[in-house]
Structure 1
Amino acid sequence: MDATPGPRRTPTDPPEAISPKRFHDAEGVDDWRVLYWGAHAFFRAPTYSAGAAFVAAITSRDEVAGHEPDIDLRHEGVAVKLISRDVRDLSTRDVEVARLISAVAREHGLVADASALQVVQTAVASPEGADVTPFWSIVLGYVRPNRTHLVDPLRRGSSVFLQPTDAVGPQRGRMHVDVCVPHDQVHARIEAALAAGGRIVDDSFAPEWWTLADAENHKVDVTTWWGRESTRLDERRPAD
């Protein structure tokens, strides 16, 4: 299924917002996985210089430079995140740019590795009316893009989810970690965690998330885009 837009639009019109499912159903995006707040890819590079040359090549393309993806160059390779900030969601433009970036990666001999992708978030629960946002914002140096999240303004560190206590189930604790992984990697990640001494506490929300715990009962939600409201475009995700 292709994710190309229907009606003709002018260049100044915002792109058409699409669901994670529609992104993954599009042709030419096999290198990419939808995680929290965007489509992500990681391209292994044989050397730092090879990764830098790839970054220079993709940012020289007007389609990529105009979209301003988040690009992280490391010795191991290049991580790229796409999100359409003008619609605060995935869009048809993200599909087009993802295809272009993957094509340039192939030209440069870089290989995508979806197993390296993840997004980590810390959830902090507090009673209604207990405004802890100023404290967490100042102590972390984060900004607040919406009512429930704090994010690193340079989008490097883990985000913080300010979770209302009425949304916290029994025996959940006041803080936990969310780990968003590719939908086709989640079962392998859970099996590895169980083999490392973890246990499944709750799988009633699967495939949206599975709650795991370590031997000391610290909780982790291993999550994917499967089953989320965002697959129906019913919620907005922080784009910054």
Structure 2
Amino acid sequence: MSEQSDPRRTLGADEVAEAAPPGWAHVPGRIRAVFATGDFATGLALVDRIGAAAEEADHHPDVVLTYPTVTVSLSSHDVGGITSRDLDLAHRISGYADEAGVSADPAAVTLVELGLDTWAGQEVQPFLAALLGGSADDREVVDPAGSYPTIWFQDAEEHETPRQRWHLDVWVHRDEARARVDAVLAAGGTLVDDSEAPSFWVLADAQGNRACVCSTEGRRGA
């Protein structure tokens, strides 16, 4: 078996970007696509085909069906990353969508994380996990059901003066990141720092509150 086809080897961000079907975005820990079905019946039929393929492959995605869209997320939880299994199933799902006349919209993929600037994340992590009914995982608080964003902790110097401590990390498809930044700037935002672009841009609103637009480009993994 070649290294590229090893179903248990986690793939880097560039490998995923090269091999993923059109419209699929690599965001932290998963690949995701939003299919614009336009109506419930088309979406339900697509979900049925996805379910059958997942059972056949014994590899199961997270699927969200709404009136106008089907959102699919794939990850190899047993190895903690993206593998060839995820890409293989993603290609099958995209094939089913093509047959239904449905396309994936990369601009519709957004994953939001909450970052807390703190000098002692371990002190507040158990509180937040208990408050939200989640689990403490490394330097994060994670909801296994995916109903609220992952919370992570960014090191900061201890301080008494109130300042912004929470910020949004907004993950988008790597091909859509620059457009999202431009939209924020057009809406009155300002660019604080682009030294790490295209991995992330630091932006601020009119009152100075900061947020980051993030992509997997330029990263070893996500």
TM-score scaled by structure 1?
A: 0.83
The answer to whether the 8 A contact 1:126-1:132 is kept is: no
CA shift, 1:8, in A, is 10
Residues 49-108 of structure 1: per-residue CA shift (max 9 Å, x gap)? 210111011111256662111111111210001111111111111111111010011122
What's the % identity of the aligned pairs? 34
CA shift, 1:173, in A, is 3.4
Equivalent of residue 226 in structure 1, options 199, 210, 217: 217
Q: What is the number of equivalent residue pairs in this alignment?
A: 218
- Alignment of 1:61 with 2:53, yes or no, is yes
1:140 match:
132
1:233 match:
none
Give the partner amino acid of 1:31.
G
- Tell me the distance in 2 between the aligned counterparts of 1:174 and 1:46: 39
Give the partner amino acid of 2:17.
H
Equivalent of residue 217 in structure 1, options 194, 205, 208: 208
Superposition pairs of residues 9-20 of structure 1, within 5 angstroms:
15-20=8-13
**Partner SS for 1:173:** coil
Cα RMSD (Å)? 2.3
Superposition pairs of residues 1-240 of structure 1, within 5 angstroms:
6=2, 15-26=8-19, 29-62=21-54, 66-128=58-120, 131-144=123-136, 146-165=137-156, 173-230=164-221
**Partner SS for 1:124:** strand
- CA distance 1:92–1:128, change in 2 (3 Å): same
- Tell me the distance in 2 between the aligned counterparts of 1:42 and 1:225: 18
CA shift, 1:202, in A, is 0.9
The answer to whether the 8 A contact 1:126-1:163 is kept is: yes
The answer to whether the 8 A contact 2:54-2:61 is kept is: no
CA shift, 1:228, in A, is 2.0
Unaligned runs of 5+ in 1: 167-171, 231-236
* More deviation, 131-140/211-220: 131-140
Residues 117-157 of structure 1: per-residue CA shift (max 9 Å, x gap)? 0100110122137610111112222222x311112220132
The answer to whether the 8 A contact 2:171-2:215 is kept is: yes
- Tell me the distance in 1 between the aligned counterparts of 2:192 and 2:3: 47
- CA distance 1:64–1:78, change in 2 (3 Å): farther
- CA distance 1:64–1:114, change in 2 (3 Å): farther
The answer to whether the 8 A contact 1:35-1:182 is kept is: yes
The answer to whether the 8 A contact 1:69-1:80 is kept is: yes
Give the partner amino acid of 1:199.
T
The answer to whether the 8 A contact 1:35-1:119 is kept is: yes
- Tell me the distance in 1 between the aligned counterparts of 2:192 and 2:177: 16
- Tell me the distance in 1 between the aligned counterparts of 2:183 and 2:23: 23
The answer to whether the 8 A contact 2:23-2:104 is kept is: yes
Residues 145-204 of structure 1: per-residue CA shift (max 9 Å, x gap)? x311112220132111122226xxxxx832211001111111111111111100001111
Give the partner amino acid of 1:87.
V
The answer to whether the 8 A contact 1:71-1:79 is kept is: yes
- Tell me the distance in 2 between the aligned counterparts of 1:209 and 1:64: 38
Unaligned runs of 5+ in 2: 158-162
